[in-house]
Amino acid sequence: MKNIVPRGYMLLKDNIVREDNLFGFPSKVKGRWAEGLSLPRKGERLLFAGCGYQFMSYAEPLLEKIKGMEDKGVSVDRALSFTMGLRKLGVNVPALLSKVSFGREDPYTTVLLDAVRILKRLKEDFAYLGEEEPCCGSPLYYLGFFEDFARKAGEAFRRFKEAGAREIIGIVPACTSSLKNLHPKFVDGYDLEVKHFVEYLDEAFDRKPVKLRLDRTVTIHDPCQIARFLEISDVLRRLLSRVEGLTVLEAPTSREFTMCCGGGTGLEFTLPELSLKIAAKRVRELLETGASTIVTCCPGCLMQLRHGAEAVRAEVEILDVVQLLSQALEG
């Protein structure tokens, strides 16, 4: 019996194993958002940017392709089985790379730029590995590729150590949860302290109080990994409570009871229609709070919620917590 593992998931696995990132793009793309920021490559504290924020703008056209296939009545699974690899999928990689903008106009890398801005403003020391940043391999674990995951985890640990790291600040919840909870189970002598950006910032604001102000009414979408795996929904709220003028309207399905955006495990890669339906449902649920801004802190959730909002034709602003805090710092 063959082909039990859905092709979309095999594609994710091959991308990570071959190209060291979720979407199979050349690794040199990783650090593009940070060009000109002159961030140190070595240090005790590393900012771990993760595949999601760094690649999502490149990955969206790829996902559109996958969705398009399902719409035409070709099962995604079958389509992917004979079109493994980006080029075969009809994605012209060099053309895509030159076309996609990043930075302020891009909803994903702008989050990273805001994160750097906040850290610099607080005069916190940190390094960033750029194109040397390893993929945490988290999807390999969730898809059951334990051997590949163990290899990735070992490689990541080695690169962190070479950079002199003792502490990792993750910004993608799934990567952070993987580096914090899963890597120690697969790597001997794992001794890195791992925190999510939200936790780190909350502590940093304690040490260095700053004025945060933003007049806005928002509702929070807790990413699954934040709520149920890292279990820091309370920290996220404490952090947001520092912002004057901010009103938070809670959905009944929040904190540890938060509803998945439909992107868990990468479902959008195998059953995009189902995944989108779940996203649309989640957006409707969040808008029932009366807020017209949704705040979250995960690149996967950001994308799913954006697509969900389009599907239900909702006028809604979707912000990452980091973007919101960056705006509040100016305000």
Partner 1 sequence: MEAVKSRKIELALERAIKAYRRNVENALARHPHTQKLAEEVRKIKEESVGRMEELVKQAMDAISDSKGQVYLARTGEEALKIAEEIVGSNRLIVKSKSLTCEEIGLREHLEKQGNRVYETDLGELIVQLLGIKPTHIINPSIHIPREDVAELLTKVTGEKVPPDIPEEVEAVRRFLREKFVQADVGISGANVVAANTGSLVIIENEGNARLSTGLPPVHLALVGMEKVVPTFQDAMKVAEVTWRYATGPSPSYVNIISGPSKTADIEKTLTYGVHGPRELHVVFLDNGRCEAAKHPVFKEALYCLRCGCCLYECPVFAVTAGNFGDVYFGGIGAVWTAIVSGRIYGSLEGLARAALIGYTCLTCGRCRVKCPMKIDVPSMVVELRRMAVEKFT
Q: Where are the alpha helices (DSSP H) in the chain?
A: 7-19, 50-71, 76-81, 93-99, 109-121, 138-142, 146-162, 173-177, 183-186, 197-207, 224, 233-240, 272-287, 299-311, 321-330
Strands lying side by side in the sheet with 244-248: 244-248, 213-220, 293-296, 317-320
Cβ of residue 317: shortest distance to partner 1, in angstroms? 23
Q: By CB under 8 A, tell whether 2 contacts partner 1.
A: yes
Q: Which residues pair with 247 in a beta bridge?
A: 217
d(CA 299, CA 33): 15
Residue range at the interface with partner 1 (CB under 8 A); choices 23-31, 78-86, 138-146, 205-213:
138-146
The distance of closest approach from Cβ of residue 326 to partner 1 in the complex, given in angstroms and rounded to an integer, is: 28
- Report which residue type is found at 134: P
- Only one of the segments 151-159, 268-276, 313-321, 323-331 lies at the binding site for partner 1 (rule: CB under 8 A); that segment is 268-276
Name the residue nearer to partner 1 (CB basis): 258 or 323. Answer: 258
User: Of 24, 50, 130, 264, which one interacts with partner 1 (CB under 8 A)?
Assistant: 264
Please, which of residues 224-243 interact with partner 1 by CB under 8 A?
A: 224, 228-229
For residues 313 and 315, give the distance between their C-alpha atoms in angstroms, rounded to a whole number. 7
Spatial CA neighbour of 20 closest among 167, 129, 99, 161:
129
The reply on whether position 186 binds partner 1 by CB under 8 A is no
Are 30 and 133 a contacting pair, CB within 8 Å?
Answer: yes
Contact between 257 and partner 1 (CB under 8 A)?
yes
Task: For residue 151, state whether it binds partner 1 (rule: CB under 8 A).
Answer: no
245 φ, ψ to 5°? 85, -5
CB of 73 to partner 1, least distance (A): 12
Least distance in angstroms from the C-beta of 55 to partner 1: 21
CB of 229 to partner 1, least distance (A): 7
For partner 1, the binding residue among 6, 50, 299, 308 (CB under 8 A) is: 6
From 65, 85, 142, 205, residue interacting with partner 1 (rule: CB under 8 A): 142
CB 278 within 8 A of CB 261: yes
The label of the residue with tokens 């933003």 reads 214
Q: Please identify which residue in 244, 273, 317, 330 interacts with partner 1, judged by CB under 8 A.
A: 273
For tokens 């509803």, what's the residue? 259
When binding is defined by CB under 8 A, the residue of 270, 296, 323, 326 that contacts partner 1 is: 270
141 binds partner 1 (CB under 8 A): yes
Binding of residue 299 to partner 1 (CB under 8 A): no
Nearest by Cα to 225 from 318, 142, 114, 110: 142
Among 105, 256, 288, 317, binds partner 1 (CB under 8 A): 256
Q: In whole angstroms, how close is the CB of 275 to partner 1 at the nearest point? A: 9
Work out whether the CA dihedral 91, 92, 93, 98 comes out positive or negative: negative
Class of residue 22 by CB neighbours under 10 A (exposed 0-12, middle 13-18, buried 19+)? buried
Stretch that binds partner 1, among 29-37, 81-89, 129-137, 269-277 (CB under 8 A): 269-277
Distance in Å, CB of 150 to partner 1, minimum: 12
CB of 236 to partner 1, least distance (A): 17
Burial pattern 105-140, b for ≥16 Cβ within 10 A else e, equals ebbbbbbbbbbbbbbeeeebebbbbbeebbbbbbbb
Provide the binding-site residues for partner 1, judged by CB under 8 A: 1-6, 9, 141-146, 224, 228-229, 256-260, 262-265, 267, 270-271, 273-274, 277-278, 281-282
